[in-house]
Structure 1
Amino acid sequence: MTEQAVIDQQVRHLLFEIREQTVSDVGASFQVAEKTSYKDLVTTVDKRNEQWLDRRLKEIDPGCRIISEEGFGDHVADLGGHVWVVDPLDGTMNFVMQQHRYAIMVGLFIDGQPTTGYIMDVDTATLYHGGPQGGVFLQTPTTNTRLQSPVDKHLHDSLVSVNSMMILKGEHNLRQVALAARGLRMYGSAGLEITDVLTGRLGAYISWLKPWDAAAGRIMAAALNLTFVKIDGTPADVLSSNSVLIATNNAAREILQLVK
């Protein structure tokens, strides 16, 4: 087994461990605080998960650097070497308000190249993992099945998910995008909306994403022949926050025409 395969196996095992603890946290008491506003929450679970992930990734992949949401990672200004991007609890509002529809996400870049992404659907104990070198897989506690590239649907044949504030504010002509699609969905978890594009349940997802929101999905999108770009059609920057489109190639082309 190669060094990279050993790292991958250990990270997948780690994510199932953290998933079990996170599920048990739903029925326990945890503290909630506001970050930038009452709509931007952080919990003691976010912080605990991040510290756990950062510590174990440093053990699994010595010498790596980590970008993580709650500030426990490294200061990273470039993608040289092994760089992990960590979202310890994606969909914190859902976790707090609904105890439903939230994820844990990790992405690995090696010398700037998208290498392996991981998105754990905590509710269903389903881990989406993989990248351009070996393909993308859907893993449960008992199975590990390779995903095929989704059907390249057009916009009018697709359900799309759009960030609620972007569409309420009328940004980027997104109302017309929603009207041109077969239907509109909003989940409140970038990770779960991205996995629905990876599996073909959605034809497109559009949102303002920070590095930890986008990294894992970008890596797996590259392996499944999906478009992952800024809303203006230019390449998305791993280290910056961007308005991002992930979609089938046909839907992406049609969305970018409407946006422009």
Structure 2
Amino acid sequence: MQASTLAALKELALQCARSAGELSLKRMKEPFTVEYKTSASDLVTAVDKEVEKHVISMILKRFPDHGILGEESTFAQDPAQFETLWVIDPIDGTTNYVHQQINFSVSIAVYHKGEGLVGVVYDPSRDELFYAVKGEGAYLNDRPLHLDRIVSLEEALLCTSVFWNKRAEQMGIDLIVKKLAGKVRGMRLLGSAALEMAYVAAGRLDGYVSLSLNAWDFGAGRILVEEAGGRVTTMTGTPLPYNEKSSVMACNPTFYEELQQYLHVAENTQTD
């Protein structure tokens, strides 16, 4: 892909993220409806849908031949038909958006033939813009991000969503992670996978583990962590897909092997 095209994709992704964030903050101050998806803990708001439609409109106005894979499924066509695919989550952390009004984010990624080109995660409540371009590094508000600190597993601050996952309980993976929690320096849970992976890229967290995430949850965060020098794979160590659900393990590279060994019990039972 030409440098000029890549630059145009980056610029539009940044514009979309900021615009989506501004709209989410504006709507937060107004009454909005909240609905259940699959359960009382799986929420969607009218704002999620409005923000996704807004972002899709911005993208297709500039690149009408691109496809969209979005959480709210407001794109009418089959995303698999497109060589260039935008993978977006308009509000990652909707429950936080509804209850806390912090710790939510806009996640926007661009993939071309399965290769991650641009990743943007924007935290509008703190005005923090994390972004990365393939081969050009990762940044937080234009400050370069480099995972060059040596971290052992015992020194690591990790983040995970495994503890409340019913499938993890059925497979015993929650027990593995609970044991892991006793070995590392600490465990955190923010409730926004995109933001948590952005924090790994920024060195605020040393690693993130999830048994099951949708593509729009990790699409941008994956590019951020990799461009910052981190490792991102499935829990079993295989490459992440770009357009389907998967387990995710993202971390500082210095303890990747040690973390993977700790989670290896799941290899024969977990399906990516």
TM-score exceeds 0.5: yes
Provide the residue aligned with 1:159 in structure 2: 157
Between the aligned partners of 1:239 and 1:19, the Cα distance in structure 2 is 23
Provide the residue aligned with 2:134 in structure 1: 132
> What is the CA distance between 1:180 and its match in structure 2?
1.2
Between the aligned partners of 2:62 and 2:156, the Cα distance in structure 1 is 40
* Residues 198 and 224, structure 2, Cα contact 8 Å, conserved in 1: no
Between the aligned partners of 2:79 and 2:24, the Cα distance in structure 1 is 27
Between the aligned partners of 2:165 and 2:251, the Cα distance in structure 1 is 17
> What is the CA distance between 1:29 and its match in structure 2?
0.4
**Same amino acid, percent of matched pairs:** 27
> What is the CA distance between 1:109 and its match in structure 2?
0.7
Provide the residue aligned with 2:146 in structure 1: 148
> What is the CA distance between 1:150 and its match in structure 2?
4.3
Between the aligned partners of 1:6 and 1:158, the Cα distance in structure 2 is 37
Question: CA 1:38–1:26 in 2, change beyond 3 Å: closer, same or farther?
Answer: same
Counterpart code for 1:2: S
Between the aligned partners of 1:166 and 1:160, the Cα distance in structure 2 is 17
Structure 2 counterpart SS, 1:117: strand
* Residues 20 and 90, structure 2, Cα contact 8 Å, conserved in 1: no
> What is the CA distance between 1:20 and its match in structure 2?
1.5
Aligned residue runs from structure 1 range 108-257, under 5 A = 108-139=110-141, 144-163=142-161, 164-166=163-165, 169=169, 170-171=172-173, 173-207=176-210, 208-257=212-261
The alignment status of 1:77 with 2:80, answered yes or no, reads yes
> What is the CA distance between 1:166 and its match in structure 2?
3.9
* Residues 86 and 212, structure 1, Cα contact 8 Å, conserved in 2: yes
Aligned residue runs from structure 1 range 10-49, under 5 A = 10-49=12-51
Provide Cα deviations, 1:109-155, integer angstroms capped at 9, x if missing partner.
1122110100001211111111222111212xxxx222223424121
Range moving further from structure 2, 145-154 or 199-208: 145-154
Instruction: Provide structure 2 residue ranges, at least 5 long, that are not aligned to the other structure.
Output: 265-272
Provide Cα deviations, 1:66-91, integer angstroms capped at 9, x if missing partner.
1000111232236x521110100000
Root-mean-square deviation (Å): 1.8
Instruction: Provide structure 1 residue ranges, at least 5 long, that are not aligned to the other structure.
Output: none
> What is the CA distance between 1:92 and its match in structure 2?
0.3
* Residues 10 and 133, structure 2, Cα contact 8 Å, conserved in 1: no
> What is the CA distance between 1:3 and its match in structure 2?
2.8
> What is the CA distance between 1:247 and its match in structure 2?
0.6
* Residues 150 and 198, structure 1, Cα contact 8 Å, conserved in 2: no
Between the aligned partners of 1:30 and 1:137, the Cα distance in structure 2 is 33
Provide the residue aligned with 2:267 in structure 1: none
> What is the CA distance between 1:190 and its match in structure 2?
0.7
Output the TM-score relative to the length of structure 2. Answer: 0.88
Question: CA 1:174–1:166 in 2, change beyond 3 Å: closer, same or farther?
Answer: farther
Between the aligned partners of 2:66 and 2:119, the Cα distance in structure 1 is 16
* Residues 161 and 202, structure 1, Cα contact 8 Å, conserved in 2: yes
- Number of equivalent positions: 255
Between the aligned partners of 2:196 and 2:5, the Cα distance in structure 1 is 31
Detail structure 1 runs of 4+ shifted over 4 Å in the superposition.
none
Question: CA 1:109–1:150 in 2, change beyond 3 Å: closer, same or farther?
Answer: same
Output the TM-score relative to the length of structure 1. Answer: 0.92
* Residues 139 and 145, structure 2, Cα contact 8 Å, conserved in 1: yes
Provide Cα deviations, 1:161-186, integer angstroms capped at 9, x if missing partner.
11131498352611122111101111
Q: Choose from 55, 58, 67 the match for 2:57.
A: 55
Question: CA 1:31–1:234 in 2, change beyond 3 Å: closer, same or farther?
Answer: same
Counterpart code for 1:30: F
Q: Choose from 85, 104, 107 the match for 1:105.
A: 107
Structure 2 counterpart SS, 1:234: coil
